Homo-oligomer: A and B are copies of this chain.
Amino acid sequence: MSQTGTGTQPGPGPEPGSAEESSTRERILDIALELFTERGYERTSLRQIAERLGFSKAAIYYHFASKEDILIELHLRLHEFGRGALSGIDPAGMSPELAVGILDRLVDQILGHRPLFVLFERNQVALDELHRLRHDAAHEDVEALFQQVLSNPEIALRDRVRMACALGAVMGALVLSEKMFPDVPSAELGALVRDAAHDVLMPAGSA
């Protein structure tokens, strides 16, 4: 708890927003992303992360105040990209027609940042815990948004279930894709998944 929350670090390192910084901080995040995904957040120790980077466990604490802070930083990145696909959604006025466009953008975001999405797909419990503790910015949270939409009784149940299915189809297929379709170009895969999602949201027999 000694460092400031997130992003503010000592020394002359590049700003958090700038790209292509290969600072130690970045390398820690990269390895953590890998290990958290493979072995899970809880099963991954700071020792293992440090080992891969060639230095000791304690060194990590210069860059992050806690293990949880590493996860939080990765979570922030997910939000960053998630917002790109979900900006300006009104939970009250949602419809399958609008959902088509949203899911299209989501497919692109997932394909562009697959490891990040896989990480959180495989560590839902750790994510939940994060949300329960720190509810900063929880309003703009992706999950909460979906909850609002899918629980909205103004929308026909059938449509809500379809939206849940479409979301599941997109997430499921793209998360599986790394193992199942490793050689398929992202563009091709994205097009196929989008088509499938469209058929869920707006089946041929509907208005």
Nearest opposing residue in chain B for A124, CB measure:
B122
What distance in Å separates the Cβ of A66 from its nearest Cβ neighbour in chain B? 16
Inter-subunit contact A192/B161 (CB<8 Å): yes
Question: Is chain A's binding surface mostly helix, strand, loop or mixed?
Answer: helix
Q: Give the size category of A's interface with B.
A: 35 or more
Nearest opposing residue in chain B for A126, CB measure:
B40
What distance in Å separates the Cβ of A133 from its nearest Cβ neighbour in chain B? 13
Contact of A172 (CB < 8 Å), options: B42, B124, B168, B196: B168
- Best-surrounded residue of A43, A176, A197 (most CB of chain B within 10 A): A176
Residues of B within 8 A of A173 (CB): 161, 164-165, 168
Inter-subunit contact B123/A193 (CB<8 Å): no
Cα distance, A192 to B42, chains bound together (Å): 36
What distance in Å separates the Cβ of A192 from its nearest Cβ neighbour in chain B? 4
Q: Produce 1/0 per residue, A147-160, CB < 8 A to B.
A: 10011000001101
5 additional contacts, CB 8 Å, given A165-B193, A166-B169? Answer: A150-B181, A161-B181, A164-B173, A164-B180, A169-B172
Cα distance, A134 to B43, chains bound together (Å): 18
Contact of A203 (CB < 8 Å), options: B40, B150, B161, B199: B199
A→B interface (CB under 8 Å): 39-40, 42-43, 122-126, 129, 147, 150-151, 157-158, 160-162, 164-173, 175-177, 179-181, 184, 188-189, 192-193, 196-197, 199-200, 203-205
- Best-surrounded residue of A40, A158, A162, A199 (most CB of chain B within 10 A): A199
Residues of B within 8 A of A160 (CB): 180-181
21 contacts between A and B (CB under 8 A): A40-B126, A43-B129, A123-B125, A147-B180, A160-B181, A161-B173, A161-B181, A161-B192, A164-B177, A164-B180, A165-B169, A167-B176, A168-B168, A168-B169, A168-B170, A168-B171, A168-B173, A171-B172, A200-B200, A203-B203, A203-B204
